[in-house]
Amino acid sequence: MGKRYYCDYCDRSFQDNMHNRKKHLNGVQHHRAKKAWFDQFRDSAAILYDEQVKKTCRKFLLKGFCDFGANCRFSHMSEEEQLMLKRQLEDEKQNKEDAADRMMAGRSVQEWLSKREKRKAALSSKGDLKTKEDREEVEEDNEIPHQLLSMPDLPPSLLPPPPGGWRVFVNAEWD
């Protein structure tokens, strides 16, 4: 029977030879399927721009459907949907700006980690925290940067202690 070529975009297979593959890869159906695949990964700004440039589809407005579907060269998005997409883009932009401002205002993770290492080294050489100033400095530096807290699955060494501190279990057998 020979080798078969499977096209992921079109979800079909055919006998693999140079003629068949070239014919398939240059076909209209393959190009449409490939475009549809990549369109699902486009960002909102590109979608909004494309929809604003297009004219509205009369058939879609009148009947609620279009024979061309996703291949129609006219827009099937209503003005309300475009406004919602525009608001979503503005919200995303504002969130990015807010995050950038917080990153600038707060200290970096590298800076926090280096201070933490220095503090650990000082504690191991000093022993116990004797003065009130030392304890206040440690409490001030214990605040974990928000960049770390936004990461899922932090290692236990970087997680903040729960409110009230860690629970200590005493094993009666070791007494």
In a domain, 4, yes or no: yes
| 7 found inside a domain | yes
Co-location of 22 and 7 in the same domain: yes
Decide if 137 is inside a domain.
no
Say yes or no: 2 and 26 in one domain: yes
* CB distance 9 to 37 below 8 Å: yes
Q: Which domain holds residue 5?
A: 1-41
Judgement on whether residues 36 and 49 belong to the same structural domain of the protein: no
Q: Name the CA dihedral angle for 61, 64, 65, 66, rounded to a multiple of 10 degrees.
A: -10
Grouping H, G, I as helix, E, B as strand and the rest as coil, residue 107 is coil
CB contact burial 101-130 (16+ within 10 A = b; e otherwise):
eeeeeeeebeebeeeeeeeeeeeeeeeeee
Cβ atoms of 48 and 85 within 8 Å: the answer is yes
Mean pLDDT for back-to-back runs of 10 residues, the chain (175 residues): 87 93 94 88 87 89 85 86 90 81 64 81 68 56 66 73 75 59
Beta bridge partners of 5: 14
Is residue 105 in a domain?
yes
In a domain, 29, yes or no: yes
Q: CA-CA distances (angstroms) from residue 90 to 19, 69, 94, 140, 159? A: 49, 28, 6, 36, 33
Question: Which residues make beta-bridge pairs with 75?
Answer: 56
pLDDT at 61: 85
For the chain, how many residues are written?
175
- Note whether 49 and 24 are same-domain residues: no
How many structural domains is the chain composed of? 3
**pLDDT at residue number 39:** 85
The verdict on residue 33 lying in a domain is yes
Residue 56 falls within a domain, yes or no? yes
Output the six-digit token pair for 20: 């068949």
Final residue in a domain of this structure, among 52, 76, 100: 76
Q: Is residue 169 part of a domain?
A: no
Q: What is the pLDDT of residue 7?
A: 93
Please answer whether residues 144 and 160 qualify as being in contact, where contact means their C-beta atoms are separated by less than 8 angstroms.
yes
Both 85 and 114 in a single domain? yes
11 shares a domain with 29: yes
Q: At which residue do the structure tokens 């190009």 appear?
A: 31
* pLDDT of 20: 93
26 lies in the same domain as 4: yes
CA separation (Å) from 38 to 2, 7, 34? 31, 15, 6
